[in-house]
Structure 1
């Protein structure tokens, strides 16, 4: 009986850890939430501000936006990775926890719906995935 319970719990954990259960975001709501990000990041141009431009960020390797000087922590973190919805979801919830030593001062978005909405908005400025 305990093996069945362990197997069921393992299967449930695997299912819940996939993007199948990721929240769908609303790009219009994300535009409003993104105003917090826009203090430091451009989205509609490749011009850098205090933070790198986020235009085309989905599908790009972290720490590689042309013309921006990243922290070593971010370039090390980005090795072998690509910004996708799953990685952005984790990062936007806790940037400094995910990338120890990042220069980004923003503490993160605590509401998962805000995270999903911002990602939906950012996707409108990224190549189709």
Structure 2
């Protein structure tokens, strides 16, 4: 009796093991046949991380930037940087007149190789890129500041930095386009054509036998 019970239990366990194995194998097969992306694309929907609105150029933002607002934002930097003329270097270099100067220009400050290796001068675009993400602009920099993600704040800070000893000419605001658009040109043309048509329709038709009103005919008539 015990042998029979053991046999039944053994077959039951073997069946369970076989079912589990088949389940695992079938799952692996279907997983390998599954496409990389499930579902169907929907027209007009942008996947996360793709596309997005283009950022306004820093030159456009600088045309309306507020240096006073930038001074308030600069308070986040004041613990590491001085900005007064002749000010001492701190954890970061003195920033007086920084715009227009070469990267790594402050005398006596130990710049990282990441900064010293960047050619050219600090301009509005490079300063905006630096303030957006110092580590991305200069991989290996010693600066621990994460960056300013708000483009208006960056424009205000750059305007403030520029007012402290750099005084580079800020970009002008885009001029309004005074030229008429094609649709406006078409509307004007249609209105002119309609006026001319109405003038022609209002010309009186001479009665039969009436003398001609043609100026050329009047010149040729005998006296």
TM-score (norm 2): 0.47
The equivalent residue for 1:11 is none
Task: After TM superposition, list the pairs within 5 Å mapping 1:16-55 onto structure 2.
Answer: 20-23=59-62, 24-45=64-85, 46-55=87-96
Q: Is the 8 A contact 2:81 2:91 kept in 1?
A: yes
Any gaps of 5 or more consecutive residues in structure 2? Answer: 1-54, 169-223
Task: After TM superposition, list the pairs within 5 Å mapping 1:1-129 onto structure 2.
Answer: 20-23=59-62, 24-45=64-85, 46-77=87-118, 79=119, 81-129=120-168
Q: Once superposed, which parts of structure 1, at least 4 consecutive aligned residues long, lie more than 4 Å away?
A: 16-20
SS across alignment from 1:57: coil
Tell me how far 1:21 sits from its aligned partner. 3.0
Tell me how far 1:20 sits from its aligned partner. 4.8
Tell me how far 1:63 sits from its aligned partner. 1.1
Tell me how far 1:127 sits from its aligned partner. 2.9
Tell me how far 1:119 sits from its aligned partner. 0.4
Tell me how far 1:47 sits from its aligned partner. 1.0
- Deviation track 1:24-74 (CA, whole Å, cap 9, x = no partner) reads 321000010000011100011331010000001011001121110100111
CA, structure 1 residues 33+21, in 2 after alignment: closer, same or farther (shift >3 Å)? same
RMSD, matched Cα: 1.8
Which structure has more RCO (C-alpha within 8 Å, separation ≥ 6)? Answer: 1
Which of these two proteins has the greater Rg computed from alpha carbons?
A: 2
Distance of 1:127 and 1:53 partners within structure 2 = 13
TM-score (norm 1): 0.80
Tell me how far 1:17 sits from its aligned partner. 8.5
SS across alignment from 1:83: coil
Report the number of matched residues.
112
